[in-house]
Amino acid sequence: MMSGYQKFPDLFYGIGSNTSSEDAEDVTTEDVIIRPGLTRRIYKNLRFGMIYHLNHTSVQKVEPDGILSSGGLPGSRGSFLSGMGPIIDWDSRDNIFYPSKGSWLQFYATIYRDWLGSEFEYESYTFDFRHFISLHDRHILGLQLFVKAMNGVIPFNHLARLDLLRGIHGSRFREQNIAVALLEYRYPVHKRFSGVLFTGIGDVMHRFSDFQLNESKYSIGAGMRFAVIPDEKINLRFDIGFSRYGIHPYFQMSEAF
């Protein structure tokens, strides 16, 4: 669970699955995040525990005539969140950084209430499943299914975002609920270098009953990896994703999933 401090400029396109690039407005937020978790092994690869989430957001900059400047959206003046809930974790992967086989499943719920000191009250439920298949000599197939459901009064910057689909700006679509499926093929190239091909499909929605497969967003792409620490399988990755909403590059130390 991530804890720390972050401040960065972002874009706000509005809320929903049909936002327009022409509606983008600049916003800068500053966040202090404390998110500890405590789990205990209860059976082989299965762990159970509790998590706590404290998040203070300060909205530093908005466009004068934008949606956020009106102050009507939850969180547009900043927010203070405090929530907790259970977490279940199953992990049979052979490596946490670059798995070649096994599965990882995590489910956690976070309940935000005023009696915990939270300014906004809502519930958040997250399901994340990843499975890896070793095809042949460093040829790996990876699958991720991600679902998040939220209910209540949610600050705009804590809504579910379609940032798992490489090729779509991470802030382009946001809503209370999200469902995404990702597929990635990983293959060796030469010594420390390897490559990936990936695709994904998903969408955000106010209610899951609003989901329509033929209106889902999708992306495709490719990338390269360089093994920075080969023994630990820690890679530097460069990906480029393509979608009808644009082309986006990604340069990070960790895998997408």
Q: Where are the domains of the chain?
A: 4-252
Phi, psi for 192 (deg, rounded to 5): -80, -5
pLDDT at 40: 97
pLDDT at 1: 62
The per-residue pLDDT for 124 is 98
In this prediction, residue 66 carries a pLDDT of 87
Q: What is the DSSP letter of 77?
A: T
Q: What residues in the chain have per-residue pLDDT under 70?
A: 1
CA distance 188 to 193: 7
Q: Identify any residues that bridge with 4 across adjacent strands, giving them in sequence order.
A: 33
Q: Are 52 and 33 in contact (CB under 8 A)?
A: no
Q: Tell me the two tokens of residue 169.
A: 């700006």
CATH class of 4-252: mainly beta
Longest Cα–Cα distance of the chain, Å, equals 57
Which of 64, 111, 105 has the alpha carbon at shortest distance from 85? 111
Give the pair of three-digit tokens for residue 63: 């466009």
Q: Distance between CA 108 and CA 29 in Å, rounded? A: 26
Tokens describing residue 216: 């889902």
Q: Whole-angstrom Cα distance, residue 219 to residue 144?
A: 14
CA distance 172 to 15: 9
Q: Which residues contact 116 (CB under 8 A, 6 or more apart)?
A: 82, 83, 84
Number of other residues whose CB lies within 10 A of the CB of residue 89? 18
Q: Which two tokens stand for residue 121?
A: 């009250």
